[in-house]
Amino acid sequence: MAKDFENEVPAGEDPEANASGSDPQEGTDADELTVDDILGAAQNADAAAEDAVLADLESALLTDLKRLQAEYANYRRRTEEQREVEIERAQGAVAKGLLPVLDDLDRAEKHGDLEAGSAFAAIAEKLRGVAERIGLTTYGEAGEVFDPQQHEAIFQVPTPGATEQTIIEVVEIGYRLGSVELRPAKVVVAVPAD
C-alpha cells in the first residue's frame, strides 16, 4: 500500500487555509514597524556597547590602514631614490672609464693629430657624443676664477697685476656627471705677486 505524502496535512491544520495562501496573522491589528520607527528606537545597553566596540575596531583598522599606506608610500619613494642613485652610479662608472680615452683625445687634438675629416676625428666625435648623451660635462678653462672646491691647483705662478687667483692653464680637464664631480680640473693658477 503506497502512501500519498504530497497531500498529507499535519494534524491540526486546515488544508483549505494553506491552499489559499492566506496568512493566519493577516488581518490582525499587529503593530507594524516602519523604518523611521526602527531608526528612532532607543538602543539597549548591549547594543550601544557593541556599537562602541565596533567603532573602536573600525578606528583602529583605519589607523592601521593609514599607517600601512604611509609606509608603502615611503617605501616607494625610497626605492625610486635608490634606483636613481644606482643608475647614476652605473653611469658614473662608465663615464670614469671613458675619462682616460677623452684625455687622450684632447691631447691628440692639441698636438694636431685629429685632422678634420679623418677616421680618427670621426671616432673622436662619436665618443664625445656618447659622453654628452650620458650627461658628462667638462669644466675648467683658462681665464676662470680659481675655485678650490672645483679645481686642483698643481702650480701657482706669482703674476704682477693679478688681483685674484685665476686659471692660466688647464693641465687636465675636470668632469662632472650631472651634479656629481667625477674629477676636479687640474690647473695652473696665477696668484697676485707680493
Residue with cell 686659471: 167
pLDDT digits (tens, 9 = 90+) for 155-164: 888 888 778 8
98-131 confidence digits (pLDDT tens): 899 998 888 888 888 878 888 888 888 999 898 8
- 3-state class of 166 per DSSP? strand
CA distance 15 to 6: 12
pTM of the model: 0.55
CA 148 to chain centre: 34
**For residue 145, what is the DSSP state?**
B
- Take residue 70 and report the three cell numbers written for it: 604611509
188 within 8 A of 167, measured Cβ to Cβ: yes
Q: Contact 183/140 with Cβ under 8 angstroms?
A: no
pLDDT of residue 66: 95
143: alpha, beta or left? (left if phi > 0; alpha if psi -120 to 50): left
pLDDT band with cut points at 50, 70 and 90 for residue 186: very high
